[in-house]
Structure 1
Amino acid sequence: MKIALLDSGIGLLAAAAAVRRARPDADLVLSSDPAGMPWGPRTTDDITDRALACARAAVAHGPDALIVACNTASVHALPVLRAELEPEVPVVGTVPAVKPAAAGGGSVAVWATPATTGSPYQRRLIADFGNGAAITEVPCHGLADAVESGDTDAVDAAVAAAAELTPDGVRAVVLGCTHYELVSDRIRAAVTAEGAPEPALYGSAAAVAAQALRRAGRAPDPGANPTGGLTVLLGGRPGELPGAAVSYAEGRLLAAVGAVRAAG
């Protein structure tokens, strides 16, 4: 089995690691666009063209499913990707987990890029699935770029700035950009008041990985032999995991498995 993932940068690591944990025997193809990231400020047509280029490069490797591991690309390019690739290759998009986060009511914050915060797409998502919860949209200036670079000081500064915009006592935080899941521990610490319970964090990686396996006709098997390979495509060309990837647990997991496979 082979699962492909695309994103502008290393935001795809969270979903890739989730697939790896669910099926250690699955081959992974990671297709990104480091020369074009970030995609958020780009036009819909430009985002679509870049996502298509990443998808076509990945599909050339014969995956059983393709994960669009990017909220921005899912918003702007998912219909075009599905029109071109399905039914031969199932395409799974990434949607911020507003519905499960809001199910318990109370105060919920949606952390997202400035381009997504307040967008018609996110407002519709909140209107449709907010379940009456008190939802605050929080723009996270510079956080995705800081995560991409692996700059821990910049990550801490961006997280602190977003935490200042997050209501006290928030019950749940939706991570509305795949990059944010790589620093979920820092986000949780920043939004937890002293003596208060930790808010629940809602990412998309696990759900997206599970959906990709379903669309590929496979069941999770965490105990499978860890024989899965790793192919990295940078701008459509074979490459290596970016150095910043190993700053995160998800990147280290993928790098370790890839090294074992290469050694074998």
Structure 2
Amino acid sequence: MNIGVFDSGFGGLTVLRALLEQIPQADYMYLGDTARLPYGAKSQATVARYAVSSARFLVEQGADYLVIACNTASALALDAIRDAVRVPVLGVIETGANAALASSKTSDVLVMATAATVESHAYRDACHERGLRAWEKACPLLVPLVEEGWIDHPVTEEVLRIYLNELAAESAAQQLTPDTLVLGCTHYPLLRRNIERAVPATIRVIDSADVTAAQVAAAIPAEALAGPKGDRIRLFYATDSVAKFRRLGAAFLGQPMDEVTLIDLGG
């Protein structure tokens, strides 16, 4: 089983990290479309075009299963990707909504995400389909803080405090009684401990990376993972800035990235 993981940049490496922990016997390919990020500033048609080209590349390289570890692409292009390739495709928004459904007793859910994901209302709609009420909060400062490496920095703690206080006030104004908080960006798992310290003990924090890996593990038949033991394939591709990808990627993946291949997917 060769699992392809796609993101517009580095954040999806948190999903790959969880996959490596939960399904170590699979082979993996990861593609970061760093030349064309951020996807959040693009139209839906452009995001779909970029995401489809990336998905097709991974399938052409031998991927048997695709994980779209990009919230924007999952929100705006999942159907287009599924139409374009003939392998199973899983997006991080549906896995987050599934986990929220399993977690919540009050049926009220909070979501922290990027502005583009919030504007798409993909989490709200996915939660609504599952009988949940969701209140989404855009947290645009968190991604640059994570990429700067300021995980336990006082500035990051203060920014989180402000966002979480606003989120609590906004959800209370909607008369919600949330007991679940979904981290709707693949950068945010690096801040999970910070967020768990800052929210009430009654609120469970859902890590999109962990729940996505768990749902992939549940979806893949055991026989597809059977085979001789030994070193597994781990391939990394980026469309720009290979040195930066390797440097930042190691923090997201939690281990060194020895080799990243530069590829050109066009405009």
**Which of the five TM-score ranges fits, normalised by the shorter chain?**
0.7 to 0.9
The Cα of 1:47 is off from its aligned counterpart by 0.8
Does residue 43 of structure 2 align to residue 43 of structure 1? yes
The Cα of 1:138 is off from its aligned counterpart by 1.6
Does residue 68 of structure 2 align to residue 68 of structure 1? yes
The Cα of 1:3 is off from its aligned counterpart by 0.8
Partners of 1:82 and 1:107 in 2: how far apart? 30
The Cα of 1:117 is off from its aligned counterpart by 2.2
Read off the aligned partner of 2:236 and give its amino acid letter: V
Match of 1:7 in 2: 7
Q: Note closer, same or farther for the CA distance 1:61–1:236 as it changes in structure 2 (3 Å cut).
A: farther
Read off the aligned partner of 1:188 and give its amino acid letter: E
Match of 1:252 in 2: 254
Q: Note closer, same or farther for the CA distance 1:160–1:9 as it changes in structure 2 (3 Å cut).
A: farther
Partners of 1:138 and 1:226 in 2: how far apart? 44
Match of 1:190 in 2: 198
Match of 1:179 in 2: 187
Read off the aligned partner of 2:145 and give its amino acid letter: A
- 1:88-133 deviation digits (Å, cap 9, x = unpaired): x2211121624543531176321111222254433323433354x6
Partners of 2:120 and 2:241 in 1: how far apart? 33
Which has the larger displacement, 19-28 or 71-80?
19-28
Asked whether the equivalents of residues 66 and 89 of structure 2 are also in contact (C-alpha less than 8 Å), the reply is yes
Partners of 2:193 and 2:146 in 1: how far apart? 13
Q: Note closer, same or farther for the CA distance 1:199–1:63 as it changes in structure 2 (3 Å cut).
A: same
The Cα of 1:61 is off from its aligned counterpart by 1.9
Q: Deviation above 6 Å: which 4+ runs of structure 1?
A: 236-240
Match of 2:137 in 1: 138
TM-score (norm 2): 0.77
Partners of 1:157 and 1:191 in 2: how far apart? 13
The Cα of 1:157 is off from its aligned counterpart by 4.9
Equivalences, count:
245
The Cα of 1:201 is off from its aligned counterpart by 0.8
Kindly, what percent of the aligned residue pairs are identical?
27
The Cα of 1:25 is off from its aligned counterpart by 2.6
The Cα of 1:237 is off from its aligned counterpart by 9.9
- 1:144-167 deviation digits (Å, cap 9, x = unpaired): 233244344464454233223131
**RMSD of the alignment, in Å?**
3.1
Match of 2:262 in 1: none
Match of 1:231 among 220, 229, 235: 235
Partners of 1:123 and 1:106 in 2: how far apart? 12
Match of 2:216 in 1: 212
Match of 1:262 in 2: none
TM-score (norm 1): 0.78
Partners of 1:81 and 1:125 in 2: how far apart? 18
